[in-house]
Structure 1
Amino acid sequence: MSYWQPLRPHPLSHHAAQKTYSVHAHASLVDTRLIVCFEVHDPVHEIFWPAPDQFKQCDYLWENTCFEVFINPSAHTRYFELNLSPSLAWNLYQFSDYRTPNTMPPQRVHELALTKFEVSGQTISAEIDLATLNLAKQTLNIGLTAVIKTQHSLEYLALSHSIDQADFHHSGGWTLSLSLHEEFHDSHGQ
């Protein structure tokens, strides 16, 4: 189980001290589903939100306001990157190691692992079927991040920034550890 946590701008961000918005994120595991939610508080409408569109798979969402989830099974180098746009565009990419393969756009996951995606006001939530990605019943390292487009720039927010440049693919920023531990009972129910 996880609780709401603030996403922080990268320490070298030029406009971090001037920002008037905040982003909090939450992730939890239920059965074989990873449930993520991002909540934005933007009282002066500093953030540029992509225009509402339809539910569709798109590339390069990180060029605008976009919320991202990095999913890494512990003790493995492979990971997945889920991009969620407030426009309802989304994508899921797979990497075998740090930014590998290094192609643009990255390698898409074609299995439909995204089972729910909603935008309500300034709240973005999604559910990912981990069994589809062969990640069920594993301990997962999770990175919750956001690319926020404002009048001034793109800002990079994360639970944790582990290096001198904003790089969500660096596993040092995947600081949330989630696992489902099944309860086993013997034949006597103990």
Structure 2
Amino acid sequence: MRLTLQPHPDWPGDAVTGIEAEALRTARGELELCYSVTGAVDELLMPPFTQSVRTDGLWRHTCFEAFLRAPQSDAYYELNLAPSSQWAAYHFDSYRDGMRIADIPAIAIAASTNGGRYEMRAGLDLTALDLPTEAPWRLGLSAVIEQRDGRKSFWALAHPRGQADFHHEDCFARQLPAAEPL
């Protein structure tokens, strides 16, 4: 599923001209994500690639995010993926309430830059999460993009009115179909 992220109208930035994302559920219980950023990528503040470890606070700088929720549930998961290959996963009982670390194995992240395009790919094993394997999930994809001059832009499939808030119901804008059985 290829999707286009929209800039927040109050914080669009000027270095990025577009962000596309792909999300795919595999029959093995994995989620494959790809984010493609186009524009003046050399103007973006990208942390250097390092050891892939769980790290909090990634959303304070350039970070790609995915939000997953089962149908008819208030509980959801937030996944943060940094260009450095650091990552985080959280579980919430409801809108910004009951936050705790989600127990998932290490996340494989790869990144590349080619001219005016930056691409990050991530593979996540979600079998330990409390999400139904046979049902579609509600999906929110987003990105915080920091430019070298410190300005940030906020991108998502959809934005609520007012402040950028990727946890908001409006941001769970797509349905991610169940994987086809092997």
Equivalent of 1:128 in 124, 128, 145:
124
Q: What value does the CA root-mean-square deviation take over the aligned residues?
A: 1.9
Equivalent of 2:94 in 80, 93, 97:
97
Matched, 1:145 2:142: yes
**Closer, same or farther in 2 for the Cα pair 1:74/1:54, shift >3 Å?**
same
Runs of 4+ in 1 over 3 A off after TM superposition: 17-21
Equivalent of 1:47 in 44, 49, 56:
44
C-alpha separation between the residues in 2 aligned to 1:76 and 1:168? 17
TM-score, length-scaled by structure 2: 0.86
Q: May I ask how many residue pairs the two structures share in their alignment? A: 174
C-alpha separation between the residues in 2 aligned to 1:158 and 1:8? 5
Equivalent of 1:56 in 36, 53, 57:
53
TM-score, length-scaled by structure 1: 0.83
Matched, 1:109 2:106: no
Unaligned stretches of 5+ in structure 2? none
Name the amino acid aligned to 1:177. Answer: Q
Name the amino acid aligned to 1:154. Answer: K
Task: Indicate the SS of the match to 2:31.
Answer: strand
**C-alpha displacement at 1:22, in angstroms?**
2.3
User: Which structure 2 residues correspond to residues 14-93 of structure 1 after superposition, within 5 A?
Assistant: 16=12, 18-31=14-27, 32-43=29-40, 45-93=42-90
Identity of aligned residues (%): 32
1:160 alignment counterpart: 158
C-alpha separation between the residues in 1 aligned to 2:15 and 2:5? 13
Name the amino acid aligned to 1:38. Answer: Y
**Closer, same or farther in 2 for the Cα pair 1:115/1:64, shift >3 Å?**
closer
C-alpha separation between the residues in 1 aligned to 2:109 and 2:16? 26
Q: Is the 8 A contact 1:61 1:84 kept in 2?
A: yes
Q: Is the 8 A contact 1:47 1:149 kept in 2?
A: yes
C-alpha separation between the residues in 1 aligned to 2:125 and 2:46? 27
